[in-house]
Structure 1
Amino acid sequence: MQQIIEIAYSNLLSPMILFFLLGIIAVLVNSDLKVPTAFYNGYTMIILFTIGIKGGIELRSVSLSEMIPTIITAIVLSIVMLFIAHLIVHRIFKYAIVDSLAIAAHYGSVSAVTFIAGLAFLDKLGITYESYMSAILVVMEGPAIILAIILYKLYSDKQGTEETNPNAGLSHVIKEAFFGKSIFLLLGGIFIGLVAHLDGLYLIQPLFGDLFYGFLCIFLLHMGMIATESMKSMKKFNPVSFMFAFILPIIGGFLGVIAGSILGLSLGGAVILAILTGSASYIAAPAAIQQAMPQANSGLYLGSSLGLTLPFNLIIGIPLYYWLATIIIG
């Protein structure tokens, strides 16, 4: 226990977490601090492109056969977390089926921000990890979202409810889940890093590399503000009814570490798989769920994934998964 406290304390004092906490404080004290939308869109693109390009460069030395077991496991973990989340939220916390499926879609999917923070955490500790983990991030984004929406449509057909949203078709949902902005930028970056000349990549290193952590700090400042605003906007917030937002990431993190150990991943690779499995989407999932499941309460799935699980993972979850991995894997 002393070790995990020390790890969490060290993580808490990292610049990225301090920027995130500063964003929370800015909203709590009603500061007039604002991040311009154009600036936010710009540095978000740079961050996602940088992850993709770095992953693409590292994929040059990886064979597909080496990745396949982890890819299959990642998809299975995503689907397992969907059903675990649905079971816990619906059966234990007594949420309606539609809301529990919407929430489950978010917890079956993944968070790129949590992934990035996890990479930075491991880099700080000097822990290496498999070079293809950026591709695993992309793989885990969509399956749970698609499956949750299919289950919702089956439930709607059984109940005899009619779908009135013209953008709620499965083809539109697949497009949102697999080719939304974040996934498209990551895939584009991976492609560029994989096929571009190394001399050309060296020329863009100052922007897509050297400035990465600076942009990431500003991004987390903004995320802290958005997370806090999402919680403040919720009416009649009952902390007990949102305990699943802390339970599910712990379950996901534990499953990720176990799966990483079985796969024979490195310590760093198992930690990243745990971080991905324990994270919750708040970009791709809301975009798809809002269109396909309009009856779901957006305050519930956004408030839990963005307002509670994201801060939990950034401050406590990441060092917790690392600690679990050091015990299980060594």
Structure 2
Amino acid sequence: MDQMLDIAYSNLLSPMILFFLIGIIAVVVNSDLKVPTAFYTGYTMIILFTIGIKGGVELRHVSLMEMIPTIIAAVILSIIMLYITYFFVHKLFSYSVLESWAVSAHYGSVSAVTFIAGLAFLDKMGIFYEAYMSAILVIMEGPAIILAIIMYKLYLQRQGTEETNPNASIKHVVKEAFFGKSIFLLLGGIFIGFVAHEDGLLLIKPLFGDLFYGILCIFLLHMGMIATQSIKQMKNIRIVSFLFAFILPVIGGTIGILTGQVIGLSMGGAFILAVLTGSASYIAAPAAIAQAIPEANSGIYLGSALGLTLPFNLVFGIPYFYWVATLLY
């Protein structure tokens, strides 16, 4: 336990976490600090493209057969977390079926920023991890979102209240979940990294490489502001009602590490699988849920995923996942 606390303390002092905390403080003290929308869109594209390009480059050296066990495990973990979340949110915390499936879509999916923070943590520690984990990030984004929406639509059919919103069609939802902005940019980056000439990749390295962590710090500053604003907007918030936002990452991360060990991943690979399984989407999932289940309260699913689970994972979750991994390997 002392080791985990030492790791948490060290992680708390990393520039990425400090930028996130500055964003939180800016909202708490009512600073007039703002990030222009166009700037936010631009650095989001750079971050997602960089993750994809790095993964695509590494995929050149990996066979598909080597990836198959992890791909299968990743999809199964996404579905498991979907149903674990639904059980917690609906059965234990007594949220409605509507809110429960909306929240479950977010926790069955994954967070790219938590993934990046996990990679940065391993790089700082000098720990090896499988090169194809960026591709696993992409694979884990969509399935739970689609399944959550299908389950909710089936529930409405049983209740005889199926909605007629054209944006709620399965076809539209599939397109949003698998080809929305975040996944499309990740896939595009993987394609570029996989097929581009090395000389060409060197030319774009200053932007999609050297500046990456600096841009990520500004992104996390903005995320700290948005997370705090989302919490402030929740009316009559009772922290007891949102304890699932802290419980689910611990459950998901632990399951992820155990799964990684069973399928033969390295300690770093199992750690990253834990980071993914224990994270919650706040880019792809909100976009799809807003279209398919517009009646759901965005304050609940965005406030829990972005306002609570993201900072929890950045400060405490990542050190916990690493601590568990060191116990098992």
TM-score calculated relative to the size of structure 1? 0.99
Residue ranges of structure 2 left out of the alignment (5+ in a row): none
Aligned equivalent of 1:76: 76
Aligned equivalent of 1:153: 153
Aligned equivalent of 1:251: 251
- Is 1:279 the counterpart of 2:279? The answer is yes
- Is 1:260 the counterpart of 2:267? The answer is no
Deviations 1:238-292 (A, max 9, x none): 0000000000000000000000000111111000000000000011101111111
Aligned equivalent of 1:57: 57
CA distance in 1 between counterparts of 2:232 and 2:140 reads 30
CA distance in 2 between counterparts of 1:205 and 1:58 reads 15
Aligned equivalent of 1:211: 211
Q: Shift in Å at residue 128 of structure 1?
A: 1.3
Letter matched to residue 323 of structure 2:
W
Residue ranges of structure 1 left out of the alignment (5+ in a row): none
Aligned equivalent of 1:13: 13
- Is 1:24 the counterpart of 2:38? The answer is no
Letter matched to residue 95 of structure 1:
Y
Letter matched to residue 324 of structure 1:
V
Letter matched to residue 287 of structure 1:
A
Aligned equivalent of 2:97: 97
**Which segment is superposed worse, 293-302 or 276-285?**
293-302
- Is 1:173 the counterpart of 2:159? The answer is no
Q: Shift in Å at residue 166 of structure 1?
A: 1.7
User: Structure 1 vs Structure 2: percent identity of aligned residues?
Assistant: 76
Deviations 1:40-88 (A, max 9, x none): 1111111111110010000000000000000000000000000000011
Q: Shift in Å at residue 165 of structure 1?
A: 1.7
Aligned residues: 329
Q: Shift in Å at residue 299 of structure 1?
A: 1.0
Q: Shift in Å at residue 127 of structure 1?
A: 0.9
CA distance in 1 between counterparts of 2:48 and 2:293 reads 27
Contact 2:114–2:314 (8 Å) recurs in 1: yes
CA distance in 1 between counterparts of 2:72 and 2:148 reads 19
CA distance in 2 between counterparts of 1:231 and 1:92 reads 22
CA distance in 2 between counterparts of 1:268 and 1:57 reads 19
CA distance in 2 between counterparts of 1:295 and 1:34 reads 29
Letter matched to residue 325 of structure 1:
A
Q: Shift in Å at residue 162 of structure 1?
A: 3.2
Q: Shift in Å at residue 229 of structure 1?
A: 0.2
TM-score calculated relative to the size of structure 2? 0.99
CA distance in 2 between counterparts of 1:295 and 1:35 reads 29
- Please give the residue correspondences for 1:102-117 in structure 2 after superposition, counting only pairs within 5 Å: 102-117=102-117
Letter matched to residue 276 of structure 2:
L
CA distance in 1 between counterparts of 2:36 and 2:118 reads 26
Q: Shift in Å at residue 30 of structure 1?
A: 0.2
Aligned equivalent of 1:298: 298
Contact 2:130–2:265 (8 Å) recurs in 1: yes
Q: Shift in Å at residue 7 of structure 1?
A: 0.2
Q: Shift in Å at residue 298 of structure 1?
A: 1.3
Instruction: Provide the alpha-carbon RMSD of the alignment.
Output: 0.6
CA distance in 2 between counterparts of 1:294 and 1:309 reads 22
Q: Shift in Å at residue 110 of structure 1?
A: 0.3
Q: Shift in Å at residue 14 of structure 1?
A: 0.2
Letter matched to residue 175 of structure 1:
K
Q: Shift in Å at residue 6 of structure 1?
A: 0.2
CA distance in 2 between counterparts of 1:94 and 1:38 reads 39
CA distance in 2 between counterparts of 1:97 and 1:276 reads 25
**Which segment is superposed worse, 160-169 or 59-68?**
160-169
Deviations 1:304-326 (A, max 9, x none): 00100000001100111011111
Aligned equivalent of 2:322: 322
CA distance in 2 between counterparts of 1:162 and 1:88 reads 25
Aligned equivalent of 2:43: 43
CA distance in 1 between counterparts of 2:43 and 2:154 reads 39
CA distance in 2 between counterparts of 1:312 and 1:255 reads 18
Structure 1 segments (4+ residues) deviating >4 Å = none
